[in-house]
Amino acid sequence: MERWEGLALRVIEQLPRTAEWSVALAGPFIERRLGELLPSTALRAAFAAGEPGKECSTEATLRELLGPGDTLRRRPDGKPEAQAGVSASHAGNLAFAVAVAVGSVGCDIEPIVERAEAVWHDLLGNEHFELARLIARECDEDFATAGTRVWGVVEALKKAAAAVAQAPLSQGKRMIEFYSPTGPASGRYSSNE
């Protein structure tokens, strides 16, 4: 992985929401967007795509984010730990990992899948189901995308050891646009930190 400092980019034109993104560009994009929204957060993010039909390991993706003096360990339940705050998720052959120097962090990646309304309600619960409805309406997107956004945020909060029942979830400025990676991990995914 390369890291550039002092690089200044300018917008030439806005990409349509359905534009496909390279897996290699997704991590730096998330880092940049979160840096704009939360300047004091030194979050590092990386994605990796494995071979089609094979689950991608989060191990190498996490190690890529850690400093040379940090060691990655796994708890008995499989959750990664290091001196830095780390979290990882995978969906099919796509792996996503994040790290912060101080504190805890959580991430989740889920494929966007159409489900019956009753299934979404069972997955999200009343409050989060209504939030997904609001997001779908306000962002002019289908319910599967909005529901997956909310589900991903709840899962990321759990991984960050946040009390989900007390976590204030509300619709606000979109932190991360959704993308459809090309190549071996093509599909629609929801990614949340």
The domain locations on the chain are 20-192
pTM for this structure?
0.73
CB-based contacts of 117: which residues, under 8 Å, 6+ apart? 143
Phi, psi of 12 (to 5 degrees): -90, -45
| Burial class for 147, CB neighbours closer than 10 Å (0-12, 13-18, 19+) | buried
pLDDT for 129: 94
3-class DSSP assignment, residue 39? coil
Closest CA to 137 of 129, 149, 146: 146
3-class DSSP assignment, residue 107? coil
DSSP 8-state assignment for residue 84: S
pLDDT for 18: 55
Q: How many CB atoms lie within 10 A of CB 137?
A: 12
DSSP 8-state assignment for residue 184: G
Closest CA to 64 of 109, 156, 106, 2: 2
CA 23/CA 49 separation, integer angstroms: 7
DSSP symbols for 8-38? ----SSPPPTT-EE-HHHHHHHHHHHHHHH-
In the chain (193 residues long), the average pLDDT of successive 10-residue segments reads 78 69 83 81 86 79 87 90 90 88 88 94 93 90 92 88 59 42 40 45
3-class DSSP assignment, residue 46? strand
Q: Tokens 């979160």 appear where?
A: 34
pLDDT for 113: 92
